[in-house]
Chains A and B, each alone.
Chain A
Amino acid sequence: MITKRIIPCLDVRDGRVVKGVNFAGLRDVSSPVSLAEFYSECGADELVFYDITASCEERSLFTDILRQTAERVFIPLTVGGGIRTLDDFDRVLKCGADKVSVNSGAIANPDLIYHAAKKYGDQCVVLSVDMKRVDGTFHVFAKGGREDTGIEAIEWIKRGVENGAGEIVVNSIDTDGVKQGFDLEMLNAVCQVVNVPVIASGGAGCMEDFVTLFHTLPKVDAGLAASIFHFGEVDIKELKQKLANENINVRL
């Protein structure tokens, strides 16, 4: 049976991983290529590269980094950040990305999901949603979680899947950075309405949080995190062993 996935997310700017990285024994801790290789060795099931650059020059530096990574790391790579058009899909897929994650680009142009899914297949299109509780419902937030779009998130996700999104990343703004565990209530609400893989993001602080996630919500397919992996608070190899010991099906 298919295994639960553990996915580290790398924010890349100016060709470097931002958010401090703290690993003993890693030669260049902020090189996305070295870090990707390191995570792949540790048993990461997939990597997300998030492009947080703004200018065109920086963007081509990002695709260079992506290409170098894809030449050396042979696990699925997902790219997000600044994806607004089919040309953006094309640009990163040619450099070795397997999946492309859309967030603000889909809010600005909801047809993007439909057209991308038609051209590249549903499995290629990941809808990433920054969600937060507002007056008892979940709203979609834009601009890195700073702006309430007023869009009801569960309906937004349902529509995204109908249009061809093959996977949903649920980023809970409410639990992000708090390190008290994933947002199980929010994730459950999403799992109830979709039949595509759901990736939990935001809130993981320790290994136990992943165990709780997969035990409580068997429909969640993957757990994504950034800093707890980068800072070495959670070691991916240990995490996967722990999940296996807890009878959660993982790739060792």
Chain B
Amino acid sequence: MIAIVDYGVGNLFSLKSSFGAIGAEIVVTSDPAVIQNAERIILPGVGAFADAAEKLRKSGLDQVILEETKKGKPLLGICLGMQMLFEKSYEYGEHEGLGLIPGAVRPIADVIPKDLKIPHIGWNPLHLRAPKDKLFSYLNEGDCVYFVHSYYAADCDDYVIATAEYGAELTAAVRNGNVWGAQFHPEKSGKIGLAILRAFCEI
């Protein structure tokens, strides 16, 4: 069973449906016991970093996530959920993240040419730095996924497993041991997205 952590941020309808479509047993939950009993954890997230991080802390689920991942339980952070895995974010100030992956979240505007639009939104091909990673079991170099973001994970080169080119090589997916993160939205990335979720279910 996979627990999608519900800490009051964003709409989990599509994420829930996408796991349903691949036949995975899932539960959307804010109950620590359910997360403790789950085999895998999904940390979703949309919106602003500070707000989401505070909600996660207030819910106390940040501690549950830290304990469970320490035991080796696979976790996948998606979009803002991925960004929260890092030590800190510079989105409107400086905010602390979960610190599960070394690195910081910074504005895309710092690294891309001025004429490119922000947010980085749309379908963009993945460049797999670690094509043999378990998360990419069903993927090929150049498969397209759907992005919507204005900030990106920086200072984390050792943990980057895939990038996407948008005037700069932006972090698209990361891994530190049993903790994975995807900046894009697998639940909106068609068959390729579902294949990533399936691979995560089989880790």
- Residues on A lying within 8 angstroms of B by beta carbon are 1-3, 5, 40, 45, 67, 70-72, 74-76, 93-96, 98, 121-123, 166-167, 195-197, 221, 251
Measured in the bound complex, the distance between the Cα atoms of B125 and A98 in whole Å is 21
Closest-by-CB residue of B relative to A73 is B190
Q: Is the pair B17, A70 in contact by a Cβ cutoff of 8 Å?
A: yes
Tell me which residues across on chain B come within 8 A of A75, comparing CB atoms: 146, 188-190
B37 at the interface (CB under 8 A from A): no
Q: How far is the CB of B111 from chain A (nearest CB, A)?
A: 15
Tell me if A96 and B166 are in contact (CB < 8 A). Answer: no
- Label chain A's interface by main secondary structure: loop
Q: Which residues of B contact A72 (CB under 8 A)?
A: 17, 21
Asked whether B13 lies within 8 Å of A96 as measured between CB atoms, the reply is: yes
Asked whether A76 and B188 contact (CB < 8 A) given A122-B119, A195-B117, the answer is yes
Indicate whether B29 reaches chain A with its CB closer than 8 angstroms: no
Main secondary structure of the interface of B (DSSP, over half): mixed
Q: A45-B123, A72-B17, A75-B189 are in contact. List 20 more A-B contacts (CB 8 A).
A: A2-B124, A2-B147, A3-B122, A3-B123, A70-B17, A74-B18, A74-B189, A74-B190, A74-B191, A75-B190, A76-B188, A93-B11, A96-B14, A98-B14, A121-B47, A166-B119, A197-B117, A221-B122, A251-B125, A251-B144
Measured CB to CB, the residues of B under 8 A from A are 11, 13-14, 17-18, 20-21, 46-47, 117, 119-125, 144, 146-148, 165-166, 187-191, 193-194
- Min CB–CB distance A114 → chain B (angstroms): 17
* Residue numbers in A under 8 Å from B194 (CB-CB): 74
Contact of A197 among B121, B146, B191 (CB under 8 A): B121
Asked if A123 and B122 make an inter-chain contact with CB atoms under 8 angstroms apart, the answer reads no
